[in-house]
Each structure stands twice: as C-alpha cells, then as structure tokens.
Structure 1
C-alpha cells in the first residue's frame, strides 16, 4: 500500500480546551480535522499532535 501522497493521520489535542480528535497531517505540516470542518469550538485553537499512525506496511 502507498503512503497516501505523504499524508498521515494522527491523534491531536486542542491546547485550549483539551478536546482530542483525529487529524490528517499534510506534507506541508498543516493539520486538518477528519470528518469535521472544525476540531473544537475554540476561536483560535492550537493543535498538538499526540501520536501518528504506523505505516500501513508495518501493521501486522
């Protein structure tokens, strides 16, 4: 399987409210929430990546 053009998925947390969700990390470092347009209700949230997914070839 490919790496989906260098994009990764990761768990991320909003530094403002503590909401945790899944984001897509683009090759340029931009974070985009998966399945929703906004990560949380904070006006200017800063997202902190908690853990990225494994390469699909590494999953047993």
Structure 2
C-alpha cells in the first residue's frame, strides 16, 4: 500500500491558540497540516483532532 493510502484527513485544533484546520493523520498518530508546513504561529503547536474533543465531551467551536 502506498504511503498516501495509509493516511486519512481530519479536522484539528491547535491547543494553544484554537486555530482549526485540516491535517493528515497516519496510523501511528502522526499529524501534519495539509498543504502547509505550519498549522499556526504557536511555537509548539499541539494539534488535537476535533473528533477527540467530541469523544472527551469538550465543547466544539
């Protein structure tokens, strides 16, 4: 299976600033912004999938 076939797309939010965007997610949990190198301007951008927030019962934006 090709590398691009192993990943999926998901909506994610930066924990620091709250910016939302689309990321590629690999089976090992690696998350990379789609079509860009940086998700936002935060120095340490921790990305949380919106589906994880829903499962945790957090409010979505």
Structure with more strand by fraction: 1
Question: What is the alpha-carbon distance in structure 1 between the residues aligned to residue 34 and residue 45 of structure 2?
Answer: 16
Q: Which runs of 5+ in 2 are unaligned?
A: 52-61
Q: Which runs of 5+ in 1 are unaligned?
A: 52-60
TM-score between both structures, scaled by the size of structure 1? 0.73
Bigger relative contact order (CA 8 A; separation at least 6): 1
Question: What is the alpha-carbon distance in structure 1 between the residues aligned to residue 26 and residue 7 of structure 2?
Answer: 5
Q: How many residues align?
A: 48
Question: What is the alpha-carbon distance in structure 1 between the residues aligned to residue 15 and residue 38 of structure 2?
Answer: 14
Aligned-pair RMSD on alpha carbons? 1.1
Aligned to 2:42: 42
Structure with more helix by fraction: 2
- Post-superposition CA distance 1:2-49 (Å, at most 9, x none): xx5331100000010010000000111100100100100000011110
